[in-house]
Structure 1
């Protein structure tokens, strides 16, 4: 949705190189009203990352602690944490109260239905398979809705 309040219009038209007998039904439009959400009705999400060891030996277990916080006045709903693992690292498991996590192709996606104004922690255990560098940091993003 747009970031400002007001009406937005979407219009679509169909056409053909073949002659038509009735072109009056070839266009449609829809107007949607976007309402402003007051700051008092919003969540304020943040994400932090801590590692269990640095440096870590090749092939050793390493765990990351991801802390998701909501400092906003409202509950955050339908949250998603996306963790893109670095090359040479494989996902073993993740746990956290009420979180649901899955991994595919080196990307871990964890979902939580709602988060009130409290701090929740999500711990991921990641096993390093091969590594020629000393620091490993996954690329992580926090998305409010899925």
Structure 2
């Protein structure tokens, strides 16, 4: 017999399609997993309502749960409460830094230019600058370290 804990563990291990070093649980996108008889419902809260990766996330969660032996699988969106960068786990923040991506500051809502110091994920220097508010995805900005001169991406706070 498969249990809710197993369903959670299966869904939680699905990698994010845009940040594959993170799982959906690390990113805080997996909002819950419920079991009702033979049915399993996984709830996803996308990083923003127009996120183009939602369909792929849902398909990956569905496929992984079915491969684990669940036959009646539903993947649903939960938009309330909305996702925020505070949803990223400490493990997720560590994995981002290890991958050379500066994690967002916890507990800070940043709607304009970054006003706090952003450490370089390569060398640790705090002498960094934002090059572009827009990066490879809408949740990232492009930065550069003035010390080691390496560019890096940074997850924006929302």
> TM class by shorter-chain length?
under 0.3
TM-score (norm 1): 0.25
Q: Greater relative contact order: 1 or 2 (C-alpha under 8 angstroms, separation 6 or more)?
A: 1
Larger Rg: 1
Structure with greater helix share of residues: 2
